[in-house]
Amino acid sequence: MKDVGEMLVRRGYLWQSFEIYGGMAGFVDYGPLGNGLRRALENLWREYFVVNERAVEIDTPTIGIEDVFIASGHASSFTDVAVECKKCGKIFRADHYIKEKLGIETEETIDFVREVITTYDVKCECGGNFKEPENFNLMFSTTIGPGRGKQGYLRPETAQGIFINFKRLSDYFRDKLPFGVCQIGRAYRNEISPRQGVIRLREFNQAELEYFVHPGEKKHPLFDNYREFRILLVDKNDEEHDITLGEAVERGIIAHELLAYFIGKTADFLLKAGIKKDKMRFRQHKDDERAHYAVDCWDAEAYTSYGWIEIVGIADRGDYDLSKHREYSKEDLSIFINYDEPVVRKVRKILPDMSKLGPKFRKNAKKVAEALEKYSGEIDDVLTLEIDGEKFEVDRDLFEIVEEEEKVYGERVVPHVIEPSFGLDRITYAILEHSFDRDVIDGEERRVLRLKRWMAPVQIAVLPLLSREPFTGKAEEITVMLKKSGFFTEKDESGSIGRRYRRYDEIGTPFCITVDHQSFEDSTVTIRDRDTTRQVRVKELELPEIMKSLLSGERELTEVGELFK
C-alpha cells in the first residue's frame, strides 16, 4: 500500500484535498492521470450499461429538496451510530471503532453499541470515556434560497433523481417494460470518521443503473450470455460456490435470472476494466444486513491492501422506491401493461348509494363515494376508509356490491427495480492496486502499472531518441498526428531514453513510440510494448491504424511490424 500510495501521489493520480491547509479526511483530488483513468472507466461503463442495454442516461441536481428524502426514508433512517469522547471530543463511527479495537461485528443500533461499550469498558484512544451513543444522519443539509429558505440535502445517491422522473421516463419509453435509466455523478455522505483514503469518502462518484421491470418477469433476453459464466459466489451463510450463474439460479442461491444477469455483466465489466478475477468475488447480503425492502442483494468485492472492499452493489429493490414516492407525491407512478389477448374476468364493483351517502357525509360524500369505488379489500358490516388523513366509517347498507364479467385488456403495475450501483472511486483505486507490479529488466528493478490498454490515461508516449533537432521536431509531428487521430498522447524529451521508458511504464502507458536515426532514412519508428518491452519497427504513416488496433486489443505488437533488435 505504501509503494502504491506514494506512486499515485508522485505521478499525479490521486492527491489529498486541501493539502496546503492541512487536508481533510474524506476528500480526494484526482490529478491529471487519475482523472483520465476515471473518465476511461466511466466511458467503459456507458458501453456496458447504456449503449448495450435498453437504457438511457440522465443528469439530475446534486441538491434535493427535503420532500424527496422524507419519501425515500433517508431523512429519518440514513444514519450511523456515533460515539463522542467526553475528554478529547473526538467522534467515531461506533461499529468501525469497536471492530478495530475488539474485532467484534456490531449491530448498528444504539442499544447494542451501548451494551458493547459497557461490557468491554471501551474507551477513547486518549483514555477518556464515551458519551451516550447517538444516531447521526449522514446527509449534508443545506437551505435553498435566501433567509430561512427551503430545507434541502446534498444527495446521498444518484438514484432518487431517477425515481422522481419516472413518469417522464416511462413516457419516453412508451410505457414498455423493461427499460433502464442511468446516471453518473457525485454523491455525498457526511461520514463520521473516514479513515481509509479513497475507500471511504464524503464526496464520491457513482454510476447507477435503475432497471425497471414487470414484477412477474424478472428475466433478461441476453441471460444466456452469462449462464455459463463462473465467478466466486459467497452466499448469506458464508458458504463459497464455484458454480455457473445458471446453476446458482437453479439452486436458489441467486433469487432470479435478472439478478444473475447483472452479476455476470458486472463481473465482465470489472474484468475488462482491470480488476483481477482471483481478487474478485460476489458476496450475498445476510438476512439481517439486507435492506427490508430488498428481495436479494449481492456486493461485488475486490481484494486490496485494505482487505475485501465493496465496489458494486446489485440489489432487487422491489417496488419500494416508486411506491414511496407515489404515496408522498400523490402521483401515479404505475404503468399500464397491455395483455397479448384480452382476458375475461369476474370483477367486483362497489356501487355507492348517493341518496344515503349524501345525508350522512354531506360535503365529504363525493370523496367517500370515490374511495368506495376504488376499495379492493375485505368487506365487513362496516368499512373504515382513511381519506386525506381522516377516517370515515361506512355502513354496509350505504353501498351495493355487484359482480360483472368484463374484458380486461391489461393491468396497471408499479414496476420493480434492479439496481447495480457502482462506486467509481473504489473501482479506480482497486484497478490501480491490482495493476501495480514489479519486475527486473536488464538487471534493474522497475515498477510498472499494467493497466488495460484501453484504460490507460496516457495511451502513447512519443520519445525522440535525442533531445535535439531533428529528433524533437519529428516527434512533435507524430504527436500532433496521433492527437488528431483521437489518441491521448504525450511527447517527452527529458532525460535518457531508458529513464523515459521507466517513467511511462510506471504510469501505465502501454506503448512508447521512439524516433531514432533510422526514422530519417526510411520514415519508420519503433513501437515499444510496456509489458514485454519488445519493440517493432513500423511505417510512420501507418501509426494511426496500427495504434487503434493495438489499443483496442484487436492485435498484438508482434502482428503489426518487424521485430526491432
Statement: residue 564 has pLDDT above 80:
no
Q: How far apart are CA 492 and CA 479, in angstroms?
A: 10
- Asked if residue 502 lies in contact with residue 446, where contact means CB atoms within 8 angstroms, the answer is yes
Element (H, E) at 37: helix 32-46
The one-letter amino acid code at 316 reads D
Task: Judge if 79-137 and 458-563 fold alike in CATH terms.
Answer: no
Average pLDDT over residues 221-250: 96
Nearest to 525 by CA among 534, 535, 517, 537: 537
Pairing state between β 79-84 and 134-137: antiparallel
DSSP letter (8 states) at residue 376 = -
pTM, 2 dp: 0.88
For residue 198, give the C-alpha cell: 479513497
Q: What is the pLDDT of residue 378?
A: 85
pLDDT of 565 over the 60 cut: no
Could you give the C-alpha distances from 273 to 108, 268, 448, 518, 547, in angstroms and in order?
A: 34, 9, 17, 37, 19
Helices (H), 192-331: 245-250, 257-273, 320-329
Amino acid at 507: I
Give the phi and the psi of residue 192 in degrees, each rounded to 5. -70, -50
Q: What would the pLDDT profile of 79-120 be if each residue is shown by its tens digit?
A: 999 999 999 999 999 998 998 899 888 788 899 999 999 999
Q: Which CATH architecture has domain 2-78+138-320+418-423?
A: 2-Layer Sandwich (3.30)
**What's the CATH class of domain 339-411?**
alpha beta
Assigned fold of 79-137: Herpes Virus-1 (3.30.40)
Q: How many CB atoms lie within 10 A of CB 543?
A: 21
Instruction: Please name the helix (run of DSSP H) or strand (run of DSSP E) that holds residue 158, with its range, or none.
Output: none
Tell whether the model's pLDDT for residue 203 goes beyond 80. yes
Q: How many Cβ atoms from other residues are within 10 Å of residue 341's Cβ?
A: 7
Q: Does 168 have pLDDT greater than 90?
A: yes
Q: Quote the DSSP letter at residue 279.
A: G
Position 140 scores a pLDDT of: 95
Can you give the pLDDT at residue 339? 85
Tally Cβ neighbours within 10 Å of residue 411.
Answer: 13
The CATH class given to the 458-563 domain equals alpha beta
How far is residue 505's CA from residue 482's CA, in Å, rounded to a whole number?
Answer: 20
**Three-class secondary structure of residue 564 per DSSP:** coil
419-463 pLDDT, tens per residue? 999 999 999 999 999 999 999 988 889 999 999 999 999 999 999
Ordered by start, the domain boundaries in the chain are 2-78+138-320+418-423, 79-137, 339-411, 458-563
Report the chain's mean pLDDT, rounded to a whole number: 94
